[in-house]
């Protein structure tokens, strides 16, 4: 199968080879050294400042989202959340479950965040801003500099889910005033699902260390303490952490900028060519990570099914009200221009067959 999903993405042979090895015992000095190097590189690649830390939780991206809520927000906070799609709405639900006072900035499908949207919340007493920087369900990338400026003016903590945009788009925690950045293993890190990664600024580290999060497994105090010796409080996804080390060392050799440039090249090539077929792009503000595609004829869900069943190509369907409206094409992972050509040829053949 040729994989254009937005996670899990197509993995490189070197990463698959590491995953095929026996999983070693991990309470050792060797594993601790590897974990410390993982943390150093994650902090570096996130553009975090001095005193920043990184932790890896065994769980999906939603585990990381919930860890952000329970470790950095409590009943004394009032958080502004952008609800612009399925994942923004998940943050709203998490805040409500944990009884965090929430102001919801509702955006319609495909709508771009503007200064005007934020005007209503100036001086509104919000203490934190919670955002999925790239709303993966709709393919909209929000303006990180606009959000940073707003948070700085209003003295707000900035918590960013960068699950699908980390490494795909230029990003620096320090430059953008981000207190916590979260990502997960199955996106641009191009690993199997199973790790949620949080990078904390020095201010966020101090806050996590004094917060009673009311949860054992997601308590970042424990993770930070054990991380000082290169370990984790509970049994981690050892095999994926070994793959993470291989991937981070590769990124160190080639450079994060080169990785971002490659993903951008793949994305731009696909977007330039897809509009020659009966499709439009479903957003005007896109991450390099993925392209939301709207078919001019037929069902997006049916297109996904035909590509999977008849052409052995995965794209990413949507759920809910968007199921028939858009599918998403990922540009992360071990993909090439030639892979784009294979997908576009399949879509052109579907048009020839009267399926589009």
pLDDT, position 320:
84
Q: What number of CA atoms fall less than 13 Å from residue 80's CA on the CB side?
A: 23
The sheet that has 279-281: what strands, in order across it? 279-281, 290-295, 327-330
Give residue 14's pLDDT band: very low, low, confident or very high (50, 70, 90): very high
Cα angle 267, 44, 161; round to 5:
55
* Mean pLDDT along residues 302-330: 95
pLDDT, position 110:
84
Q: How far apart are CA 284 and CA 350, in angstroms?
A: 26
Give residue 265's pLDDT band: very low, low, confident or very high (50, 70, 90): very high
Give residue 301's pLDDT band: very low, low, confident or very high (50, 70, 90): very high
pLDDT, position 321:
83
* pLDDT, tens digit (0-9, with 9 covering 90-100), for 20-38: 999 999 999 999 999 999 9
* Mean pLDDT along residues 278-284: 94
Distances (CA, A) of 229 to 33, 115, 250: 8, 44, 24
Give residue 109's pLDDT band: very low, low, confident or very high (50, 70, 90): confident
Q: Is the pLDDT of residue 344 over 90?
A: yes
* Mean pLDDT along residues 329-333: 98
Q: How far apart are CA 121 and CA 113, in angstroms?
A: 13
Average pLDDT, the chain: 96
* Mean pLDDT along residues 134-150: 95
Other beta carbons within 10 angstroms of residue 146's beta carbon come to 14
Other beta carbons within 10 angstroms of residue 296's beta carbon come to 9
pLDDT, position 310:
98
Structure tokens at 48: 């975090």
* Percent of the chain topping pLDDT 90: 96
Q: How far apart are CA 80 and CA 71, in angstroms?
A: 16
Give residue 322's pLDDT band: very low, low, confident or very high (50, 70, 90): confident
pTM of the model: 0.96
pLDDT, position 343:
98
pLDDT, position 319:
84
pLDDT, position 287:
97
* Mean pLDDT along residues 68-73: 97
* pLDDT, tens digit (0-9, with 9 covering 90-100), for 190-210: 999 999 999 999 999 999 999
Contacts for 288 with CB less than 8 Å, ≥ 6 apart: 165, 168, 169, 260, 263, 264, 267, 331
């Amino acid at each position: 199968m040729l994989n254009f999903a937005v996670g899990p993405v197509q993995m490189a042979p070197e990463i698959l080879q590491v995953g095929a090895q026996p999983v070693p015992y991990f309470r050792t000095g060797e594993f601790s050294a590897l974990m410390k190097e993982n943390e150093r590189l994650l902090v570096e690649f996130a553009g975090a400042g001095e005193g920043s830390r990184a932790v890896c939780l065994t769980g999906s991206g939603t585990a990381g989202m919930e860890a952000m809520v329970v470790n950095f927000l409590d009943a004394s906070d009032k958080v502004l959340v952008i609800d612009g799609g399925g994942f923004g709405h998940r943050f709203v639900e998490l805040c409500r479950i944990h009884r965090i006072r929430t102001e919801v900035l509702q955006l319609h499908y495909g709508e771009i965040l503007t200064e005007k949207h934020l005007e209503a919340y100036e001086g509104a007493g919000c203490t934190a801003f919670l955002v999925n920087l790239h709303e993966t369900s709709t393919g909209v990338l929000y303006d990180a500099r606009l959000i940073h400026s707003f948070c700085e003016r209003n003295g707000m903590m900035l918590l960013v889910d960068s699950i699908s945009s980390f490494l795909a788009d230029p990003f620096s925690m320090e430059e953008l005033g981000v207190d916590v950045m979260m990502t997960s293993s199955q996106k641009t890190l191009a690993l199997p699902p199973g790790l949620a990664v949080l990078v904390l600024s020095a201010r966020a580290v101090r806050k996590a260390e004094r917060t009673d999060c009311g949860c054992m497994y997601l308590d970042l105090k424990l993770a930070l303490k054990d991380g000082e010796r290169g370990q984790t409080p509970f049994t981690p996804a050892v095999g994926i952490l070994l793959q993470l080390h291989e991937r981070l060392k590769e990124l160190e050799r080639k450079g994060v900028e080169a990785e971002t440039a490659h993903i951008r090249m793949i994305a731009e090539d696909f977007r330039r060519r897809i509009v020659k077929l009966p499709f439009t792009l479903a957003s005007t503000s896109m991450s390099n990570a993925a392209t939301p595609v709207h078919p001019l004829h037929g069902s997006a869900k049916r297109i996904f099914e035909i590509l999977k069943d008849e052409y052995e190509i995965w794209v990413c369907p949507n759920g809910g009200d968007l199921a028939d409206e858009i599918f998403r094409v990922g540009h992360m992972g071990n993909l090439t221009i030639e892979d784009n050509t294979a997908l576009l040829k399949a879509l052109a053949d579907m048009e020839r067959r009267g399926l589009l």
